[in-house]
Structures are given as structure tokens and as C-alpha cells.
Amino acid sequence: MPSIRLLVATLAMLVATAAGAAVHATAETAEFGRLLSKADVAFVDAAGGNSTRAYDVAAIELLRQRVLADEASSSGVRRIAAGALIESYLEAGLDEAALQLYESLTPVARDEVTSGALVSATISPKTVILVSPQEVAGDLAVAYAERSRADAVPALLERALRPVDAGGNEDDFGVTERSKLIGRCASALVHADGATDWFRWLLGDDPQRLSSCWTASKARSYERRALRALDESALPAAWRGVAMTASAPADGIVQRGAAIDLALRDLPGWTARIEQLQAQLSALDASDARWIEREYHAADFGPERQDRANRPPASERDSALAAQLRRRLAAPLADPYRVKALGKSAPGRTTAPANAACGALRCADSGDARWELLASDDYDPTGEVPAPGFWLARTDADASRHAYYLGLKEHVPFELVDGHPLSIADGMLRLVVRKAAIDPGSVTFPPVGLALQRDAAPQELSAPIADITRDSDGDGLTDLAEQQLLLDPGNADTDGDGIRDGDDSLPNVANAASGGVANRAWATALRFATHLPDLAISTFVPGSSTFARRRSGDERTLYVTADPQSFVGISSGRRIIVLPISLDASLLRQHPSFALLMPMRVDLRMLDATHAEFVYDQGWSGGRCALDLRDGEWRIATLSFWVT
């Protein structure tokens, strides 16, 4: 990765468009404006958008040359120029140049580039330089360690471990976060031994975030030392990090462009310097060819990639559950609702909710109870498609609260009509709605081109409260809820394992003795999956005003496509509905209750006795995780993730 590049955050430096970077205004910005000519700025801007490190290094060398040529230049611009050039050299792999520069500084200057707050300067409307002293110190420590200069390492590591001061930079594209990592990561790398936990070093402590030591630095010596250590670790080869970034791509990729040619025309001597740097970096790449040529291949594994012909056949449990679900999907839907055209008889519009303190979609008071209409994807995970389920919550005078799934989804086919209140009277729920059905053919991710098939005529949707709250089998789930969860509303224990459906975290997979190590790996993976954050956007998505107000509650349910045999003996803190792999997916797509459902397809593969990979795919987002067995417990961390 180049050390100065448009819209790319590097380890000690950030170059970004001024519109995208919210960096602290500094006196150094004005001083650079005085020190640099138009040709200088043009070259720095053009180098930032180039594809090789030679131009980046040359651009920062030019900055520092201009700073040193002015005896009146301040310590602030000297600090920025020196820190940026040291880090640029280290990222390019020019360690000797970096160490010589650092050692040529006065003791005070060495202290300034490796301690204190992050410093920044705006070179032009296109280019911002941001220098992190923690990253400079950490990368220098590793470079000295690589050269067996142990005497210089402790002091630098101590500085890299100091608390990070962002220096007033409000948005630094992650430089502050990486600065917090580099001290402990570089220290662990330098002092690695047989007790080093390479799983945590590589993948981090937070399974939901990519905050690992592998992301903490792009200095060539840091990469090289890490790759050597990881190759000697017990981790699977596919987890050991990405290839080292080459400094000089093939001639067909490197294009100087007119902007650089124009800038260099007014900068005599710099074309020769760039050619010299390219030769040095090409030689360096040749010596590091082992690491550069090694590519990071995501295993050809997982729901979206694995060769179906090589998948194991569905288990007996899977086939049996598929047969049950086929029968339930074919059964008539329980529908307590009546629809009446309103026309001129529509209730009068209001300019505010029935209750001014209402924080829900609609509120109404009836007797001693307050009723709220809510939108939630607890039973209706539809990704970014705005089709949340509607729920009715009742709060009684004693503050007890009960929420009931209505069996209705927004835009399937109705939406609420603004200005009309929620009505709870005479034991009936009444809502004013109109048709605004989602056209399934217009669904993309993100669904910014979503089309709604509208009918402006208002209609009244009504149902008896008793039908909404009915729980025929007394299992703690209403009949409408069980219908959506593909459970049996006439059987309090659908899977027959002795746990009533309302209390069962896996209500359609019978509890049994654990299947062993692999099942425990599955349990860890499912705990991860059930706590994934909601990343669905609503911005620019048509018909998403209600969707944007969705809430998640205690009933949040994860629908997964997997073989239920994998889940035997597992319990979860969140309800999981298993859709067997042998179930024809078209049965769901053609069903009015499940046409927009986005179940999570999950798969887990044991790599060896202590390592496994978990892949999840929600259709619009997904990821790949590593699992490591240590001291009898499975640990999980993110290898990669994606969002459309």
C-alpha cells in the first residue's frame, strides 16, 4: 500500500480529499503553503494517486527537502516531514534509509517524531498528511529488531505503547485506532516465544471487528517478521495473513500519467530519483518474492462457494424436518384480518399521534392499558428490504408489558397511512392502510431501486384482539407467532424434546446429547451469529420510513439454513429456527409469509482437531470466521466480511 495516496489510510500517514477528512486545522498547514511551490504541490498530489511506492517516497522526500532548505521552518513542519518520511521509507522497505534518517535527528527531534499527539497538515485541497508517533515508534522498533539492534528497541516500544492523543483530528480514517494497536502488536512480535497466542495476535480480541495486529502496520519489516512467525505457528496456512504488498507492479500497471509528467517537468532531478527508487524497490521485491507471491485464498468453502456435489448428503434429521416444513408451508394460513374499503368513510386525519408522548409508530389508550404499534424484524429478517413485521405491545397499569406479533409485514402488501391513529376499541384492532406491495423483481442490494405497487385508496384492516393474542397450546408463543416461526400452534413442544416452544432456543431441533467437538464449535459459531450487529441501511431505500424505526426485542430470531444434525445438543441465548438444507428454497420464495425472508445460510468445516472455519451468508451480507480450540474452549474471530 502506498504511503501517500488519495482516500487511502496508511499507518503513519493519511491522504484524503479535504471533503472526506475532518482533520484539525494547524499552523503547519499555512507554513507548508509558504514552503511549497505550485509544482511541488502538483507533484505531491499526483504522486498520491499513483500506483507505486517510488512516487510516494519521492513526494515525501521533496517535502522534507523544502522544509530543511528554509532555516526559518518551524519544529512543527520539521516533525511532520521527518515522521512522514521515516514511515514512508519503512512502508516501502527502505529500512536503512529510515534508520539513518532517525539517527541523524537531534535527540529532541527523535523524541518529537516518536511521542506526543498525532500531527497533521493540509498540503492542498486534495492532500492531507497525518503522522502518528506511536506508529513511527512501533515500526522503528521492529526495524531495529530485524537488524539485531536490541539496544534501541525497548525505548521505542515504550513510546509506541503510550496513550494515543488524536490531536484534535475528528475523523482520521482509523489512524487513531491503529495507533492504539501498534504498541502491543509490535511488542508481541519482537518478543514472540512459544507462549505467544498467534490466533489472538492475528485476528484480535473482538470477534465482531477486524481489529487485529495484522492490520496494525504496513511496514515491510513488520510484515516480513510477522509472516515468518506465522509460518512457524500451528495456525492453518489460509489464516496466516495476506501477501506482502509489492512496491513496483509490472510495467503494464505502472502509469505515470500526464499530471506527474507535467509536475516533474518543473522539478529537475526528481525523475532520476524516482528511477533510482524504482530500481531499489524492485530489488527489494525480488528478495521478498517468497512473501509477495504468496496469495491469500479464501477457502473454496461455504454456502455461496462450496461445490454442491462435494457436500455431505442431508442427514435423516434434515430430511425429516424438511418433510414437516413442507406440510406446514402447504397448510392454509391463519388470517384473522378483515379488509374494508373506506373511501369517503375514512376516519378523519390527525396531525399528531393519538398520544403526544408516543415513541412508537402509533399509540392508543384503552381502559387502563396503553397500546403501541411497533415495527420489528425479530421474526422477519429481510436484510435491507423494508418489510419489517408489525407488533402490538400492551402495557398495563401495573407496568407489565406484553408484545404480540400481528402476522403482518409492511409492504406485504400494506403500508400504514399517515395521519390515521391506532384504534383499540370493542375488542378490535383497527388500522388504516393502503396497498404498497414490494415488487420482488425490483429487489437488489442495496435496494435503492425498489419499486412499490401502490393503490392510493385507503382501507381499514381489523382483527379481534383475542385472535391476535391467542396461544392455543399454551407454550408461550401466540398462534400467529408459531405460524411465522414454522412451529406447530397445536403442540406446545413441536420438536418433542420436553422443552416448550416458548422456552426452547432451538424449538424445531430436539435436544439430545452433544455430538462432540464439532458440535461445540457449532455452538460457538452460533453464539457469534446471533449477536451480529444490524448493518441494514434505510437511506435512499424507497418506502423505508417505517423500516428505519424498526426495533429489536427479546424475541429476535435467527433463521438459518443448515443441517439440523449439526445443532444437536446446542443451546443458544437467542431463538434459532433451522431450515434444513434439503428443503426446496422455492417453497419459501413462493409463500406470502416468507417470500422476502433472508435466512442466514451457515456452514462449518473442521480443518483439524483444533481449528475450524465458519461461513455465513445472509444474501446481502456475510463473512468468514476462524475457530481455534484452546484449553478446551472454542474461540472465534473474523477473517473477512462483506456487505453489498
Whether pLDDT at 448 is above 50: yes
Q: Among 23-27, 406-410, 589-593, 632-636, name the one with the lowest average pLDDT.
A: 23-27
Nearest to 352, CA basis, from 434, 422, 411, 415: 422
Task: Please say if the pLDDT value at position 545 is more than 80.
Answer: yes
Query: pLDDT (tens digit, 9 = 90+) per residue, 579-601?
Result: 999 999 999 999 989 999 999 99
Name the band, by pLDDT with cuts 50, 70 and 90, for residue 348.
low
User: Which ranges in 93-235 belong to alpha helices (H)?
Assistant: 95-104, 107-113, 133-146, 153-160, 175-190, 198-203, 220-232
| Closest alpha carbon to 601 in 627, 620, 626, 587 | 620
Q: Residue 220 in contact with residue 288, Cβ under 8 Å? A: yes
Mean pLDDT on 335-364: 74
User: At 317, is the secondary structure helix, strand, or coil?
Assistant: helix
* Residue 603 three-state SS: strand
Q: Which residues pair with 32 in a beta bridge?
A: none
Averaged over 80-100, what is the pLDDT?
A: 97
**Residue 558 class from Cβ within 10 Å (0-12 exposed, 13-18 middle, 19+ buried)?**
buried
The whole-angstrom separation of Cα 57 and Cα 291 is: 22
Q: What is the pLDDT of residue 345?
A: 52
In this structure, of 88-92, 150-154, 298-302, the range with the lowest mean pLDDT score is 298-302
Match 406470502 to its residue by C-alpha cell: 592
% residues pLDDT > 70 (the chain): 86
Q: Examine the pLDDT at 224 and tell me if it is beyond 70.
A: yes
Burial class (CB in 10 A: 0-12, 13-18, 19+), 552: exposed
Lowest mean pLDDT among 164-178, 262-276, 626-640: 164-178
* 261 touches 47 (CB < 8 A): no
Residues 592, 617, 480: CA angle, nearest 5 degrees: 30
| Cα 405 to Cα 383: distance, rounded to the nearest angstrom | 19
Contact (CB, 8 A) for 301 and 605: yes
- The answer on pLDDT for 23 being more than 50 is no
Among residues 519, 515, 521, 514, the alpha carbon closest in space to that of 633 is found at 521
Write down the pLDDT at residue 257: 64
476 C-beta neighbours (distance < 10 Å), count: 13
pTM over 0.85: no
Each residue of 460-509: pLDDT tens digit? 999 999 999 999 999 999 999 999 999 999 999 999 999 999 999 999 99
Question: Given this model, what pLDDT does residue 238 score?
Answer: 84
| DSSP code at position 171 | B
Asked if 7 contacts 100 with a C-beta cutoff of 8 angstroms, the reply is no
Q: Is 11 helix (H, G, I), strand (E, B) or coil?
A: coil
* pLDDT band of 27, cuts 50, 70, 90: confident
Least trusted range by pLDDT, from 27-36, 85-94, 347-356, 633-642: 347-356
> What is the chain's mean pLDDT, rounded?
86
Query: What pairs with residue 617 in β-bridges?
Result: 601, 622
Alpha helices in 204-288 (DSSP H): 220-232, 257-265, 270-287
Amino acid (1-letter code) at residue 35: L
* pLDDT greater than 80 at residue 514: no
Residues 247 and 281: beta-carbon distance below 8 Å: yes
| Least confident stretch, 210-214, 374-378, 446-450 | 210-214
Q: How far apart are CA 368 and CA 186, in angstroms?
A: 63
Rounded CA gap, 536 and 548, in Å? 9
